[in-house]
Amino acid sequence: LAQVVFQIPTTGMQAWWWAIVVVTVGAAWGRLAQPAHDGWVAATQGALDPQWNSLPVLLPAAGIVVGAASSFLHGRRHLKARARPAQPAPPRLQELIKAFGSIPNVALKYSALIFEGSRLPELSPAALVQENRVPGCVSRTWVSVSGDAALVRIAAHSEAQITRGLCALLVTGLDGLPAAEVANVDPAVLQEFGFGDTLTPGRNSGFLNIMLSIQRQARKLGESQVA
């Protein structure tokens, strides 16, 4: 749950929803703690230290503090993301989006994906390391971004044909661009491929994770050049 909460891009309004959830849980916990607290006091015949009498109040108060902190942190993350406006898809990626968007049925889309994957150059065995592994993919998948801030070289590999095809789309669409341009492409453009009903939820999620892994490596490469 923590991984989901802190990795999903969150708007200011969503941050407040998270805060409300935490406050509600804290308040509910405090309310549930009251009978237990009263029973504890009765069992000890009032011998409990008086400072513990405030426990049912402190629990929801703690929930409010945690909720406010969550809202603040998510708000900062949202503002930082707004400071780096996402760019539209680069021309080659737009061409691929247009081509796949025009394919009329599922079978042909799968055939086209497998064909694109068959054209993907092999990834060097030296790049098949854990740090290049894409998290959240149904099959084992790796991406490698090299080069410099002015021009990145992207390579990828997957053990599954369909996922290999998804890798090929991103390699073809993003390879050879400046690191900053790759890092700032809006991942939402992937929805324009129209794979939503064609691929399984796991593969749709994997497609996004491949994109995010490429962008993370490109951003790191660009920042290292600036430093």
Q: Are strands 152-158 and 141-147 parallel, antiparallel or unpaired?
A: antiparallel
Going by C-beta distance under 8 Å and a sequence separation of 6 or more, which residues neighbour residue 67?
Answer: 18, 19, 20, 21, 22, 23, 26
User: Hey, which residues does 185 pair with through a beta bridge?
Assistant: 87
User: What's the rounded Cα separation, in Å, for the pair 134 and 146?
Assistant: 16
Which residues are within 8 A (CB) of 124 and not within 5 positions of it... i.e. 6 or more apart?
144, 155
Farthest-apart Cα atoms in the chain, separation: 78
Phi and psi at 8, nearest 5°, equal -70, 130
Judged by DSSP in three states, 144 sits in strand
Q: Give the integer Cα–Cα distance in Å for 127 and 110.
A: 27
Q: Which of 59, 96, 137, 154 is catalytic?
A: 137
Q: Are residues 171 and 152 in contact, defined by beta-carbon separation less than 8 angstroms?
A: no
In the residue annotation, 137 being an active-site residue is answered as: yes
The catalytic site residues sit at 137
